[in-house]
Amino acid sequence: MAEYIEKEDMTRQKGFVLKIKELNNRFAQEKGRVPLVKTETYGCQQNENDTERIRGILKDAGFEFCDTEEEADIVIYNTCAVRENAEQKVFGRLGILKHMKESRPDMIIGLCGCMVQQKHITEKIRKIHKHVDLVFGTHALYKLPELLYKAMTKNNKRSVVDIEDSAGKIAEDIPILRDDNKKAWVSVMYGCNNFCSYCIVPYVRGRERSRTSGAIIKEIKSLVENGCSEISLLGQNVNSYGKDLDEDIDFAKLIRMVNEIEGVKRIRFMTSHPKDLSDDLIDAIAECENVCKQLHLPVQAGNNRVLEQMNRKYTREDYLKKIDKVKKKIPDISLSTDIIVGFPTETKEEFEDTLDIIRRVEYDNIFSFIYSRREGTPAAKLDFVLSEDEIHENFNRLLEVQNEISKRKNDAYVGRIEKILVDGESKNDKNMLSGRTDSSKIVNFKGSKELAGKYVKVKITQAHTWSLNGEFVEECI
């Protein structure tokens, strides 16, 4: 059973919030403005959700937020450890911040998240990036008020560091500051027990811990009261939800409970592990009217020997059998997946099995990555069979196959009228609005900016590989 942070510990953190407020009031009197914070998130949706909590704590402590490091008094990067590229980006940013801090020594630089939960990374920061003031891992987020207060008042040059090596306890009632009041991520569990051989997550996020259904439902009802209508349930493996709880609950039952909450119009979730995708969950997706007919089911590879070395605990036959069940029960389901290209021992012939999986399943889209060696994982000890050029060639072949499928899938939407939740301006064209269908297809169309946050009907007029264009029809009642 998951352990919770004691109320006394949370009360202690609230005391540090008040202390920081006092410091910020003094700052405002001296500078004529409130102190500004720049936050930046690398990695997955769980990191995004953690940053929302970090921002909630900072908002309560009297900070306001800015868009650039140049104007910030405090910079906090929430880091990712899943791929090397994300780590290199952070170290690159730290190099730039070092020069900024030389001209503004009072600036506070903080790092948190999965990357710094690794001890060898934290040691590197201590030795090479001594201008970093604050380092805290995934299990110490709730202690941000105390840690930040120490960083703001420290009289020596040593960083304030907390990367406690534990499974982590669940902290409820941390304030959350979300940018979007119509859509929200809600964490239902933390950590992972799967130990895939390539993955660092269990080592930096800890073992699986489920929140109680009561705490989850309470949070969602509060979100709905504040105008939120699309809920995305979040966990490293949501299909394992509830296994560590005393209550009679699993993820399928939780989905049905959320579906009954008045005001919730759309329910999404991620990520699902294929070995734990139950018939009950498939039934819940099919039968609950507010659950989006969309499923992200990471396959990672299509060859059985590679899957075994990845420690995925299913075969390609198991996976395809579950996909067939899903398609039979929910014919209009939109499917997506994750695929790793270039796992160390994967041969050219074995990669063909991955291409075969893509052709058989016909995913609407995929998230594909070239394997990134992670220190401390079993796969890091394996030797590569293919050269870098061969791995990149396979990666390009995979994209070519999937792009054709994605375009063909999107072509089928032309002429249809789809219900869209409008996010706001399109990222690529400020003259267009953008939103998503129930199946998570991105749709761009012309319309009034006042439609942001509303549900509208759009007639699809044009299909691209990764998005759709349409014409506004009417606002949904």
Instruction: Name the CA radius of gyration of the chain, rounded.
Output: 23
pLDDT at residue 154, rounded to an integer? 83
The two domains 7-162 and 293-411 share their CATH topology (first three levels equal): no
How far is the C-alpha of 54 from the C-alpha of 401, rounded, in Å? Answer: 40
How far is the C-alpha of 181 from the C-alpha of 417, rounded, in Å? Answer: 25
pLDDT at residue 165, rounded to an integer? 66
241 within 8 A of 273, measured Cβ to Cβ: no
Q: Phi, psi at residue 320, to the nearest 5°?
A: -65, -35
pLDDT at residue 1, rounded to an integer? 64
Q: Which residues contact 218 (CB under 8 A, 6 or more apart)?
A: none
Give pLDDT < 50 ranges for the chain. Answer: none
We find that the CATH architecture of domain 417-475 is: Beta Barrel (2.40)
138 within 8 A of 162, measured Cβ to Cβ: no
269 within 8 A of 258, measured Cβ to Cβ: no
Q: Phi, psi at residue 194, to the nearest 5°?
A: -80, -30
pLDDT at residue 15, rounded to an integer? 97
SS3 of residue 291 by DSSP: strand
pLDDT at residue 424, rounded to an integer? 94
Chain segment 368-420, per-residue pLDDT in tens: 999 999 999 999 999 999 999 999 999 999 999 999 999 999 999 999 999 99
Q: Which CATH number fits domain 7-162: 3.40.50.970, 3.40.50.2300, 3.40.50.1860, 3.40.50.280?
A: 3.40.50.280
Please say whether the structural domain 293-411 has been given the CATH code 3.30.870.10.
no
Q: Kindly list the domain boundaries of the chain, sorted by start residue.
A: 7-162, 293-411, 417-475
pLDDT at residue 166, rounded to an integer? 63
Q: Phi, psi at residue 35, to the nearest 5°?
A: -70, 145
How far is the C-alpha of 51 from the C-alpha of 211, rounded, in Å? Answer: 19
Residue 274 to residues 86, 410, 457, Cα–Cα distance (Å): 26, 25, 34
pLDDT at residue 158, rounded to an integer? 79
pLDDT at residue 167, rounded to an integer? 64
